[in-house]
Amino acid sequence: MLNRIFAFLLLFTGIYLGAQTLPLTSPEKEGMDGKRLQLADRIIEKAIADSIIPGAVLLVARNNKIVYRKAYGYRELVPVKRKMTVNTIFDLASITKPMATATSAMILIDRGQLRLYDRVSTFLPQFKRKNRFDKPIRIIHLLTHTSGLPPYAPVKKLKEMYGAPAPDSLIAYIARMPLEHEPGTYFKYSCLNFITLQNIIQRITGKSLKDFSEQNIFEPLKMHDTFYLPPKTKIQYCAATEMQDDGSVLLGVVHDPLARVMNGGISGNAGLFSTADDMAIYAAMLLNDGQWNGARILSKRAAEKMIRVPRGFEKFGRALGWDLYSPYNSNIGDLLSERAFGHTGYTGTSITIDPVYKLTIILLTNRVHPHDTGSVVRLRGQVANVVASSLRN
């Protein structure tokens, strides 16, 4: 009886939102312990009480069915208080890297327009100059953060030099930056890798990353609340992020400075907005060999390749846009399988997918609101452990 009531409440919530969702069911029907899952509520609520985060949305799916979905706290504290809802749209920050940029690159690999070992300079002539290691940067280096490019670029300096937005000047600047290590020999997480990849995708397709990813990923999957540059009609549903020096709060505007200032909101490293339900659809596509609900986004081989660490890159722990066991994988916790992968976002977002247990954990917070003070590193691991421990088989 309780299971039927739980499933009904989930179903009612989905209908109320009028949104495309995965099928909705109870944890027990998918081999999970619903009471144990509820332990996550206490952990998240404590993080809110301790002012680590203002609010959160948690979604757990198994076998591509939603078994747990709940909103906590507030999506906005200032200038007014607005409660968090399960349909809140979040600034995904660096989850943009795998969901938009890396997936777009894999689509081009599927089409024979790109290879993992293609040189970056084949598409971006600015990179033809010799670096101090005399070794070219290749596409696989960008996807695994082993290119040698620095982690970031000085936004204030770039704005003073070129004005803003100035995407062409930004990529020219990145191409001139000295490499910090020989490509393929060392892992250093860098937003510049994915801004470079963005420019390659745009050069090949003749479309902005926004248009290409929306037309080839999000629209076919009916992810109607996933986009760059949220439309005005959607702003009211966005989670607020950081308060600016002038007292204004970012709402529906990307938080990352390189994406916001230099790339005008459309960037390979950040800029994507989405909901937990939409992200669950994307995860279902990966877990279903690259297709979902009649829409094939990736070939089976590309979907498999994307979520595995490439041969020769084992010591780095990074797949093609995704993280398996690098130092950045706090969201995976301690109890999931060795094949679990995911990604985090600076604003407090995370997605974890375990292909062995057919499990997806999406924890979205706006930890940088109203100020960039709270850390969700421990929270992510705690929630992942509770979800993993609820598995019965």
- Residue whose C-alpha is closest to residue 380's, from 354, 343, 338, 340: 343
Residue 240 lies in a domain: yes
Residue 212 lies in a domain: yes
Instruction: Report, as an integer, the average pLDDT of 80-108.
Output: 98
Residue 353 lies in a domain: no
Instruction: Report, as an integer, the average pLDDT of 239-266.
Output: 97
- What pLDDT, in 10s, does the model give residues 118-137? 999 999 999 998 788 989 99
pTM recorded for the entire structure: 0.95
173 residue type, one letter:
Y
How many whole angstroms separate alpha carbon 8 and alpha carbon 5? Answer: 5
Residue 181 lies in a domain: yes
Residue 85: band (very low, low, confident or very high) from pLDDT cuts 50, 70, 90: very high
Residue 38 lies in a domain: no
Residue 146 lies in a domain: yes
According to the model, what pLDDT value does residue 129 have? Answer: 81
Instruction: Enumerate long-range contacts of 307-314, CB under 8 Å, 24 or more apart.
Output: 307/339, 307/341, 307/353, 307/355, 308/339, 310/116, 310/140, 310/144, 312/184, 313/140, 313/144, 313/146, 313/184
**DSSP run (H or E) holding 59:** strand 55-62
* Residue 4 clears pLDDT 70, i.e. is over it: no
Residue 6: band (very low, low, confident or very high) from pLDDT cuts 50, 70, 90: very low
Q: What is the CATH number of the domain that holds 143?
A: 3.40.710.10
Residue 155 structural domain: 74-342+366-393
% pLDDT > 90, the chain: 93
Residue 11: band (very low, low, confident or very high) from pLDDT cuts 50, 70, 90: very low
Residue 293 lies in a domain: yes
Domain total of the chain = 1
- Give the chain's end-to-end CA distance (angstroms, integer): 22
How many whole angstroms separate alpha carbon 351 and alpha carbon 331? Answer: 7
The DSSP result for 280-316, as a single string, is: HHHHHHHHTTTEETTEE-S-HHHHHHHTSPPTT-GGG
- What pLDDT, in 10s, does the model give residues 177-221? 999 999 999 999 999 999 999 999 999 999 999 999 999 999 999
* Residue 2 clears pLDDT 50, i.e. is over it: no
Residue 19: band (very low, low, confident or very high) from pLDDT cuts 50, 70, 90: low
How many whole angstroms separate alpha carbon 239 and alpha carbon 90? Answer: 5
- What pLDDT, in 10s, does the model give residues 267-314? 999 999 999 999 999 999 999 999 999 999 999 999 999 999 999 999
Q: Helices 191-205 and 167-176 meet at what angle, rounded to 10?
A: 120
Residue 358 lies in a domain: no
According to the model, what pLDDT value does residue 15 have? Answer: 38
